[in-house]
Chains A and B, each alone.
Chain A
Amino acid sequence: MRRGGAVARILLLRHASCAPSPSVQQMPQQFLQSSTARPASLTFTRWIHTNAALRSQGGGDGGGGTTTAKTEEKPSHGDAKSAHEEEIVDERTLVLHAAMAHVRRLGWMESALVAGARDVGLSPSIVGSFQRKDAALVEFFMDDCNHKLQEQLEGKEKELSNMLLADRIASIVRMRLEMNVPVITKWASALSIQANPLNAATALKQRAQLVDDIWHAAGDRSSDMDWYTKRALLGAVYMTAELYMLTDFTPGYRDTWTFLEGRIKDAVNARKTGQEAVHLAQAVSQGLSNSLASFFNKQSTSSKS
């Protein structure tokens, strides 16, 4: 939904830039280009409404009866329109929400979406209008969980600030991993969907966002090269713990949490090792350049003599 709002806002800007153009005949070509690209479907819808509005405004020559209903949709009514577009996004969100209840039984693919659409009283045909249907539900779940994590963390700031860094991170990662418990039997297939090259870009983005959120909540405000190593390390830890959890049958996932703490300690150590390695490399390169310099000096002095 947040994303939908963003889309609507971008569209408003776009819309504002083309609204003054009186040449309705030329607009279609320009919009045609963008409408063939997939994510711009809403753009095209917007164009149609704009077009209808323009037609009804200047349509003395032939608009007449067919467009009178659209007269209130003048381009200036952008807010009403964007609310309408959010509604479209909402219908899909409703279906996705309802479909989550069927994931345990039906998996992440279209049958869960079809069942979800039935639950909210929409025709399951709407599933056909989803972009990348197979990944839609997994991506929705990831987004939803990341969002929930944010909310939970907001209430726990004080509690977290009293912990050591490693413990702090461990408890946040655990909070997030616990959200996978309801769908853990189907989580392996979700991971394989995310690994599909078509979906990998979104999956990576969502994971990067998650790792970033966790570091942020853990109180990290760094902006140097360390930023990357920290995120890469935590990403790896999160992923391994996530995989470990798939085959963990201990009550309450006890083993997973032990494993997670161990890996986070490793990561903290690895980061130290990494820093040491950097120092070592610097020392070595310095030494090497010194000896090279002296070597060339020697060469030049010997050639002179």
Chain B
Amino acid sequence: MTTMAATRRMGRQSWRIFSMQARRCSVAHDHTSSSDPKLTNFGYREVPENEKSKLVGNVFTNVARSYDLMNDLMSMGLHRLWKDRLVSKLHPFPGMQHLDVAGGTGDVAFRVLHAIHKAEHRAVGKLGGKSEAKNETRVHVCDINPNMLEVGKQRAHKLGLENVEDLVWMEGDAEALSLEDNSMDGYTIAFGIRNVTHIDRALKEAHRVLRRGGRFLCLELSHVSIPGFQQVYDAYSFAVIPAMGELVSGDRASYQYLVESIRKFPSQEKFAAMIADAGFQEVQYENLVGGVVAIHSGLKL
């Protein structure tokens, strides 16, 4: 119990060995030009590029039902705070056109919508009249997986948001969005970019759909480099999380993939460099819980 509590306070995630990171960097960065462009990683496995999305799709189809419960269990409820932090950094405003990618269950989208409504109320209170931009607000929820979207729609129904025209559900690929150039004010992707086959393409798409002045924000499980905490986190993610996944959703492999894919994801600095390469300015990141998650942000100018 006490060890659980200790882990709980500290969170999870690690930054494995340097060599592994270096390998990952080359995979992430050069898959268009490296010697073997057809392979990409799926957890620790190397798989053909065209299969990764299918495999990831299977993972999320398997876990969709218990997805939110598992998030709560694995992060000990912290993922709610992380998402709140993401939205507060985004600073939504009335009349905003927002796109939340890989946000099938609507977790981030509902928060953005809530923040917009709050900002609207503030504005209305100040002007003593109707807000001029009220009906322009659109929060697009995009996910490649229809099962995840289904879960999100059900949750919207429960929250009484099923008929809100501000919320737009769309099935789509982060690497090829069906939105027009320069049409969005904000782009968020929470715990999603890790699962995308070509991260650089997804970033380019984000840059394409954003307007000048629009912001890109990414919340992602990242790399812990604090000695001691790193070992605890590693132990937690490799021993506890897959077992937990088996217990709750009866699917060990999907959660094994989750912890492996976190290790395969580029380090904070590397990912920041990739965001800058996609054309974003003022790329910054903030580590939460010692790097268990990081929020990267970029500005399109």
CB closest chain-B residue, reference A91: B301
Q: Does A280 contact B (CB under 8 A)?
A: no
CB <8 Å contact, A114 and B93? yes
Q: Does A262 contact B (CB under 8 A)?
A: no
CB <8 Å contact, A48 and B93? no
- Cα-based distance from A45 to B282 in the complex (angstroms): 5
**Which residues in A have their C-beta under 8 angstroms from that of B287?**
36
**Shortest beta-carbon distance from B204 to chain A in Å:** 11
CB <8 Å contact, B215 and A129? yes
Query: Which of chain A's residues 101-157 have a Cβ closer than 8 Å to chain B?
Result: 105-107, 110-111, 114, 117, 121-129, 133
- Cα-based distance from A31 to B283 in the complex (angstroms): 13
**Which residues in A have their C-beta under 8 angstroms from that of B122?**
111
Q: Does A32 contact B (CB under 8 A)?
A: yes
- Cα-based distance from A127 to B170 in the complex (angstroms): 27
CB <8 Å contact, B34 and A62? yes
Q: Does B70 contact A (CB under 8 A)?
A: no
CB <8 Å contact, B268 and A32? yes
**Which residues in A have their C-beta under 8 angstroms from that of B268?**
32
**Which residues in A have their C-beta under 8 angstroms from that of B127?**
105-106
Q: Does B210 contact A (CB under 8 A)?
A: yes
**Shortest beta-carbon distance from A250 to chain B in Å:** 29
Q: Does A57 contact B (CB under 8 A)?
A: no
- Number of residues from A at the complex interface, CB < 8 A: 41
Contact with A along B22-39 (1 / 0, CB 8 A): 000010011011100000
CB <8 Å contact, B93 and A62? no
Q: Does A232 contact B (CB under 8 A)?
A: no
- Cα-based distance from A114 to B92 in the complex (angstroms): 10
**Shortest beta-carbon distance from B206 to chain A in Å:** 13
**Which residues in B have their C-beta under 8 angstroms from that of A88?**
281-282, 299, 301
- Cα-based distance from A139 to B210 in the complex (angstroms): 29
CB <8 Å contact, B273 and A48? yes
Q: Does B103 contact A (CB under 8 A)?
A: no
CB <8 Å contact, B283 and A44? yes
- Number of residues from B at the complex interface, CB < 8 A: 45
- Cα-based distance from A195 to B237 in the complex (angstroms): 47
CB closest chain-A residue, reference B184: A123
**Which residues in A have their C-beta under 8 angstroms from that of B215?**
123, 125-126, 128-129
- Cα-based distance from A35 to B91 in the complex (angstroms): 21
- Cα-based distance from A95 to B186 in the complex (angstroms): 17
- Cα-based distance from A67 to B33 in the complex (angstroms): 11
CB <8 Å contact, A65 and B297? no
Q: Does B286 contact A (CB under 8 A)?
A: yes
CB <8 Å contact, A121 and B212? yes
**Shortest beta-carbon distance from B90 to chain A in Å:** 6
**Which residues in A have their C-beta under 8 angstroms from that of B213?**
91, 95, 117, 122-126
**Shortest beta-carbon distance from A204 to chain B in Å:** 27
**Shortest beta-carbon distance from A93 to chain B in Å:** 13
CB closest chain-A residue, reference B26: A62
CB <8 Å contact, B126 and A111? yes
CB <8 Å contact, A110 and B93? yes
**Which residues in B have their C-beta under 8 angstroms from that of A91?**
213, 301
Known contacts A122-B213, A123-B214, A124-B96: does B283 contact A48 (CB below 8 Å)?
Answer: yes
- Residues of chain B whose beta carbon lies under 8 Å from any beta carbon of chain A: 26, 29-30, 32-34, 89-91, 93-96, 119, 122-123, 126-127, 185-186, 200, 210-215, 267-270, 272-273, 276-277, 281-287, 297, 299, 301
Sorted from nearest, which 6 A-B pairs have the closest CB atoms? A122-B213, A128-B91, A123-B213, A28-B269, A126-B213, A65-B33
Some 28 contacts from A to B, beta carbons below 8 A apart, are: A31-B269, A36-B287, A41-B282, A41-B284, A45-B281, A45-B283, A48-B273, A49-B276, A62-B29, A62-B33, A64-B33, A66-B200, A95-B213, A106-B123, A106-B126, A110-B93, A111-B126, A114-B94, A122-B211, A122-B213, A123-B210, A123-B215, A125-B213, A125-B214, A129-B215, A129-B282, A129-B297, A133-B91
Given contacts A48-B273, A52-B273, A124-B93, 4 further A-B contacts (CB under 8 A): A35-B285, A111-B122, A122-B211, A126-B214
